[in-house]
Amino acid sequence: MPALKTEPLSPAMGVRITGLDLHAASADLIGSLRTELLRHHLLVVAHQNLHREELQAFGCAWGELLTHPASAHAENPYVQILASRNGVRGRGYGAWHSDMSWHPTPPWITMLHARTLPSWGGDTGYANQHLAWQALDRAAKDRGRMFRRDLPDAEAIAGLDANHSGKRFGAKAPDSVHPVVRLHDESGSLALYVNPEFTSHIVGIEENAAKLMLYALWVHTTGLEFCYRHRWSPGDLAIWDNRSVMHTSILDYDEPRALTRVVVKGDAVLRGAPKAVA
């Protein structure tokens, strides 16, 4: 098939793709999009008009879809509607996170489709966690060994685990323990995997020390040099890799905003092993 028409979105990540109609996406097209996603971590496919069932069908072409506790009683539990109520923002999805990181097999893909947009505001921020890991200074990477002497010398933070809690969505939502540094199971690259929305604590480290470590990591992971702020256009379909990207909704609007979302189930989070230091 012909090459995709792409243009970069930012130095940190992302490409915008034009000239596609995803209503009947072929296996070859899905393969090409997956290749671009591995390279750029975030795709924005412009000018789409996918109704809920069509978005679900497109998501299913990428893998098994997950339901979400917030949509358990919805007409279609696999397609979530993220909408402001009467233009009122509320708390919403305003904290940096990786979708459903509290799940034992968190989604590897999120697809978010712009349906109703305010006249200004309502952007979404994205942060490349591969870059965040690469830019983390050696002292910070070694900090885990200050609290866990059993960890190896080299980049000891990669030997830590963190608890992720979904209890804000109800008592039945699980907690899961994942590595602080994860291995991307396709590219083999390392990425930080903690977030202020769902990561509750670091396992095996005293509470106050763990909080200090997490707060420092959270500030680092959303540094502007790792980030891209997406200004939505009607019909945009954003597709991103939760193994490498965090995101946040920017709650700066006072008009109706509605987007539809599907998430594609991933595998168990793999621990990243840093390269040996000579």
Structural domain boundaries of the chain? 5-86+107-118+232-269, 128-221
What does pTM read for this prediction?
0.92
What integer is the mean pLDDT of 177-191? 95
> How many other β-carbons are positioned within 10 Å of the β-carbon of residue 119?
8
Alpha helices in the chain (DSSP H): 27-40, 52-60, 129-135, 138-142, 144-147, 207-221
Judged against a pLDDT cut of 90, whether residue 194 lies above it is answered with yes
User: What does the alpha-carbon distance between residue 153 and residue 20 come to, in Å, rounded to a whole number?
Assistant: 49
**Residue 176, strand partner residues:** 164
User: What does the alpha-carbon distance between residue 268 and residue 154 come to, in Å, rounded to a whole number?
Assistant: 24
What local confidence, expressed as pLDDT, does residue 159 receive? 86
Region of poorest pLDDT, from 15-29, 60-74, 116-130: 60-74
Please report which confidence band the pLDDT of residue 88 belongs to, taking 50, 70 and 90 as the band edges: low
Residues 6+ apart with CB under 8 A from 75: none
The SS3 of residue 89 is coil
What integer is the mean pLDDT of 73-91? 73
Question: Among 3.40.50.300, 3.30.2350.10, 3.60.130.10, 3.90.400.10, what is the CATH number of 5-86+107-118+232-269?
Answer: 3.60.130.10
Region of poorest pLDDT, from 42-46, 69-73, 199-203, 205-209: 69-73
Judged against a pLDDT cut of 90, whether residue 175 lies above it is answered with yes
Residue 213, φ and ψ in degrees, nearest 5: -65, -45
Average pLDDT across the chain, whole number: 89
Residues 6+ apart with CB under 8 A from 1: 26, 28, 29, 32
CA distances from 201 to 142, 157, 231 (A): 18, 14, 33
> 235-259: per-residue pLDDT in tens?
999 999 999 999 999 988 888 999 9
What local confidence, expressed as pLDDT, does residue 91 receive? 46
> 114-166: per-residue pLDDT in tens?
999 999 999 999 999 999 999 998 667 666 555 565 665 545 788 899 999 99
